Amino acid sequence: MTKPRYKLTNDGLVNLLSGLGTGKGKRDHNYFVHGSLFGYKELEAAYQTDWISRQIVDIPADDMTREWRTIKCQDADEIRKEEDRLNVQSCVNEALSWSRLFGGSAILPITNQDFEKPFRPDMVKKGEVQRLLVFDRWDLIPHSINTWDVLAENYLQPEFYTLYQGSQKIHWTHFIRFVGTKLPRRQRVLMQGWGDSALRKCLQDIKDTVSAKGGIAELMQSANVDVITREGLSEELTTDQESKIIERYTIFDQMKSIINTALLDGDEKLDRLTLNLSGVAPILDNFMVWISGAAEIPVTRLFGEAAKGLNATGEGDLKNYYDSIRSKQTSHLDRPMSVLDEIMVRSALGNMPDDYNYDWNRLYQPNRKEEAEAKKIEAETDVILLDAGVIGRSHAMRRLESDEVYQYEDGVIDQIEQSEDLSLGRVERPSGGEDDDGFTL
């Protein structure tokens, strides 16, 4: 029995004449390599010294917490007071910024519970939370990585932390973790469960843009060049008169700068050459668009630049961006906020009410005309549904109250709802017989 013969084939377009797909093409040797995930000094320096880097980190964090949330429960006022006392909104904003810059951060509630033992949210008493401390991931030194309990929430993550330059061991359950951008599982294990920096993927584009801006600034300094034509210059240079020539035109520059006068000899001619910089601005605009795509922030929001184009307002880009922020609130914020609320609400009330809930406030702020049009559409919809008998007055009133448009006295809506139920009457069988499937009210 003969062995099967295998033939190696190339997958893709191949051109022997041009070298495409044969290993001789220049593009065939392009490939990506893993970047360093463990350095933070360059990220910190970029955030401190470059305004674009700071914008990329802070803008989404600010937008995710700018309008904050509306707490919905019977004791919402007491919870909001505790939220203000602990400065929760500012702490969450800071934690989001450090998670975007370094790939992770954590909030540590200071309570009376032992740091070295697992934290018990159900044991938090009213007023027990003293303050909230925010740390970035490099402030937390990991200890005892959990590799034995697959079912534990901190599997392949540290069991204990110590603070940088500290000695107190803190159990992982005391920290409320904010994880950075998503990483593949193998790299996430190396990072002890932390994510990646949102700024890291933008650094090279930021460097290119800053370099381009610096180059343009240098060109602007030399945009106008004076050219002096002088007969016999080459002969004078051969007779060791370089120093006199240099001194001559140094005086020329000084006179032009001080008294705005150009003094020339009879055989000299002055011309001014101007560099053509008309193609420079579009290049910088392309860099800005590229950074905007890498940062997932519209150009109008990142650079504060007005939208370009006929009838362009930029509102469509902002609405799409705000939809993305709302998605991040749901996917990145809801989980750590649920852990934080278990502690903060118990510190406010002494227990966790069953009716506790909250909604993120909308980011897009409509103008008065848009608000009036939206209210008109809602009112017309209510009238149509009321006339069709689909809903009753009580349903419309409850919606207006839940949207905080109107507030009714206690029991008013319940009385109207009871009267609506009585007006429906009771269901009776028709006189046509038991086999008739029809019925009347």
Read off the pLDDT of residues 2-53 as tens digits, 9 standing for 90 and up: 666 665 555 667 777 677 777 676 777 777 777 777 678 999 999 999 999 9
Q: Chain-wide mean pLDDT for the chain? A: 83
Instruction: Provide the terminal-to-terminal Cα distance of the chain, rounded to the nearest Å.
Output: 87
Q: Say whether pLDDT at 71 is over 90.
A: yes
Q: Tell me, what's the pLDDT at 425?
A: 54
Q: Say whether pLDDT at 282 is over 80.
A: yes
Confidence of residue 103 (pLDDT cuts 50, 70, 90): very high
In terms of Cα–Cα distance, which of 318, 227, 314 is closest to 264? 227
Between 404 and 48, the higher pLDDT residue: 48
- Structural domain includes residue 380: yes
What's the whole-number mean pLDDT along residues 304-322? 69
Confidence of residue 310 (pLDDT cuts 50, 70, 90): very low
Q: Say whether pLDDT at 439 is over 70.
A: no
Question: Range of 175's domain?
Answer: 41-199
Backbone angles phi, psi at 272, to 5 degrees: -120, 120
- Which secondary-structure segment (H or E) carries 161? strand 158-163
Q: Report residue 301 as tokens.
A: 């929001």
- Structural domain includes residue 64: yes
- Structural domain includes residue 240: no
Backbone torsion region of residue 111, taken as left when φ is above 0, otherwise alpha when ψ lies between -120 and 50, otherwise beta: beta
Question: Of 157, 182, 199, which closes a domain?
Answer: 199
Q: Say whether pLDDT at 440 is over 50.
A: no
Highest-scoring range by mean pLDDT, 13-22, 97-106, 290-299, 432-441: 97-106
Beta 176-179 vs 104-110: how paired, if at all? antiparallel
Q: Which of 27-31, 202-206, 306-310, 329-333 comes out lowest in average pLDDT?
A: 306-310
- Structural domain includes residue 342: no
Distance CA 121, CA 74 (A): 21
Beta 176-179 vs 224-230: how paired, if at all? unpaired
- Structural domain includes residue 32: no
Q: Tell me, what's the pLDDT at 89?
A: 96
Whether 300 contacts 316, CB under 8 Å: no
Confidence of residue 121 (pLDDT cuts 50, 70, 90): very high
Q: Say whether pLDDT at 353 is over 80.
A: yes
What's the whole-number mean pLDDT along residues 225-249? 77
Confidence of residue 87 (pLDDT cuts 50, 70, 90): very high
What's the whole-number mean pLDDT along residues 89-114? 96
Question: Of 165, 199, 233, which closes a domain?
Answer: 199
* DSSP secondary structure of 326-352: HHHIIIIIHHHHHHHHHHHHHHHHSS-
Distance CA 247, CA 353 (A): 87
What's the whole-number mean pLDDT along residues 247-263? 78
Between 344 and 376, the higher pLDDT residue: 344
Confidence of residue 308 (pLDDT cuts 50, 70, 90): low
Instruction: Report the number of distinct structural domains present in the chain.
Output: 2
- Structural domain includes residue 435: no
Helical H runs in 296-333? Answer: 299-302, 315-328
What's the whole-number mean pLDDT along residues 159-171? 92
Geometric angle at alpha carbon 316, from 314 and 321, rounded to 5°: 95
Question: Of 199, 225, 256, which closes a domain?
Answer: 199
What's the whole-number mean pLDDT along residues 369-387? 84
Distance CA 415, CA 409 (A): 11
What's the whole-number mean pLDDT along residues 114-130? 94
Q: Tell me, what's the pLDDT at 374?
A: 81
- Structural domain includes residue 139: yes
Q: Tell me, what's the pLDDT at 88?
A: 96
- Structural domain includes residue 170: yes
Q: Say whether pLDDT at 200 is over 70.
A: yes
Q: Say whether pLDDT at 427 is over 70.
A: no
Q: Tell me, what's the pLDDT at 438?
A: 45
Q: Tell me, what's the pLDDT at 426?
A: 45
